[in-house]
Each structure stands twice: as C-alpha cells, then as structure tokens.
Amino acid sequence: MILQVKDIHTFYGTSHILFGISLDIDEGETVCVLGRNGAGKTTTIRSIMGLTRPRTGSIKFKGKEILGQSAYTISRAGIGFVPEDRRVFPSLTVREQLEVAHKEGFGNWDLDKVFGLFPHLKNLQRHKGNQISGGEQQMLTIGRTLMGNPELLLLDEPSEGLAPLVVEALAEQIRKLMEEDITILLSEMGLGFAVELSNQAFVIDKGENKWSGTPDKLLENEDLKSKYLAL
C-alpha cells in the first residue's frame, strides 16, 4: 500500500470538516474520490498534502507517518499536488514555473518530457502564467507537478471548468501517465472522467466515507449515485 489514510479529522479554524475519512491506495493504482459540492474532497487532498493538517488520525505514505509534516517535506517525500484552482504563478513564465518545480524523484520527468506530454505548452514557454487560457493552465499545473517527479499524484477536480474536448485530451494524457506506474488520486463531483479512469472509487459526503468499491459496482448502484453524487 502506497498511501493509507486512517480516520482523519480535519478542521478549518473551529469548523469540523472531515469526520474520520479513510482511504487505502495501492501502488500504481488510479483511484477517485467522488462527492458533491462541499463533500470534503479538497479538504481530504489538502490533508494528505499537509496544507491543512488533520487534528487526529494517521496518514502513512509508503509506510511512514506523514501527518503533521510540512507540505514541503511531504512533497519531497514523493507526493505531488495539483490544486483545483490551478494556482499558476502569474509572474513566472510557463517555462520558469516548470523549471522551478523540478526535483529528482520517482520518475524521469524534465522539460522535454513534459513538452512531450503537453506539446501545446512548448509554444507558450515565454508566456506569463496569467496570459494563458484555463485549459492551458490546467496542463501547466499538471506539468509543473510532474516536474517534481512524484510517486503519488493528487489531482483535485482536474476536469472542472474545461470544455468537453479539452477534458477528452486530458483523459488521454492521464492514461499516458498511468502507463508510467505513477499512482494517481483524482477527485470529481459526479460520474465523469475520473471514474472512467479509475480502478477504485471512494464516495464521500459531509466529510465521511459513504462507500468504496470498483467503478462498475458504483455505476450499477442507482441509489448511491442519486444520493451522493452530482449527476
């Protein structure tokens, strides 16, 4: 098991958001965390990344406890984070933000390989982060995280706000990543592209686990879908 999240309770200030979320992810798997608006997907991912530290529980990455460590240490340990709001650096050029994120790690990602996956970025190298479109920003933010050569990639709602054609291209690119043995966690509100790519799904609602299983089982379960997912 590469990641083992066990019974985490996370707060924003005094408001209690996650009520004992647990996730088990095996090496090389692609899993998705599904849930409606405000279900706690982002908070779960931020908890794993050490950006919002859970108050109790345990998060083990490759057997080692990472709960309580700083985001920078967790990133160096091999977890990559792609935020839902992309967070490209407005004052760095596309090339610069790829370079700044580069570190040694699990894979062999570098500028050339990122441009291989996202050829379009190559033409935008000199553009500043705030001079590119939303879809381009999504490619950049994924490419940027890949430059850090993570072993586990957390992708928070990567399809959000993208045109259907762009989402299709993105799905293709994520399939290519899956061939690289990288472990991927995707989040999404409904049954879209994440569930198609995954071999394991976790459904959460109001900060609690509701269900987990294979995507096929989930697709059959009308009750579950209507109760917890945005359709």
Partner 1 sequence: MTGSEFLMQFMSGLTTAMIYFLIAAGLTLILGVLKIMNFAQGGIYMLGAYMSYTFIKLFGGTNYGFWLTLAIAPILVTAFFCVVEVFLIRRFYEKPAIYILLMTYGVLLVTYDLARMSWGWIIKTAPMPPMFQRPFEIFGLFFPLYNVFLIFMGFFIFFFIWFIINRTSWGKIMRAAADDREMTAALGINVPWVFTAVFGLGAWIAAIGGALVAPMAGLSADMGVEAGIIAFIVVVIAGLGSLPGALLASFICGEVQAFGILVLPELAIAFMYLVMVIVLIVRPWGLFGKPVIIK
- Residue numbers at the binding site for partner 1 (CB under 8 A): 49, 51, 70-72, 75-76, 81, 83, 87, 89-92, 96-97, 99-101, 103, 129, 144-145, 148
Pick the binder of ligand ATP from 40, 54, 107, 129 (CB under 6 A). 40
Contact indicator for 185, 153 with CB cutoff of 8 Å: yes
- 35 forms part of the interface with ligand ATP (CB under 6 A): yes
Q: Are 147 and 110 in contact (CB under 8 A)?
A: yes
Is residue 47 at the binding interface for ligand ATP, with CB under 6 A as the rule? no
- Annotate 89-143 with three-state secondary structure: CCCCEHHHHHHHCCCCCCCCCCHHHHHHHCHHHHCCCCCEHHHCCHHHHHHHHHH
By beta carbon distance, the residue nearest Mg ion is 42
38 makes contact with ligand ATP (CB under 6 A)? yes
C-beta separation of 175 from 197 below 8 A? yes
Q: Which is closer to ligand ATP, CB of 136 or CB of 157?
A: 157
Point out which span in 35-43, 122-130, 146-154, 208-216 binds ligand ATP (CB under 6 A): 35-43
- Eight-class DSSP state of 210: E
Task: Return the CA Rg of the chain.
Answer: 17
Please enumerate in sequence order all residues whose Cβ is within 8 A of that of 13, keeping only pairs 6 or more positions apart, or say none: none
Q: Are 9 and 54 in contact (CB under 8 A)?
A: yes
How many chain residues bind Mg ion (CB under 5 A)? 3
Q: Whose structure tokens read 């090496």?
A: 27
| Sole residue written with tokens 């990639």 | 153
- What is the phi/psi pair of residue 24, to 5°? -120, 125
Mapping DSSP to helix (H, G, I), strand (E, B) and coil, where does residue 172 land?
helix
* Contacted by 35, from partner 1, Mg ion, ligand ATP, none: CB < 5 to 8 Å by type: ligand ATP
Q: Which span (38-46, 111-119, 138-146, 169-177) binds ligand ATP, by CB under 6 A?
A: 38-46
The nearer residue to partner 1, 150 or 215, going by C-beta atoms, is 150
Each residue 22-51 as x (binds Mg ion by CB under 5 A) or -, in order, gives -------------------xx---------
Task: Give the nearest distance from C-beta 147 to ligand ATP in angstroms.
Answer: 25
Q: How far is the CB of 13 from Mg ion (least distance, A)?
A: 18
Taking the complex as a whole, how short is the minimal distance between the CB of residue 223 and Mg ion, in angstroms? 24
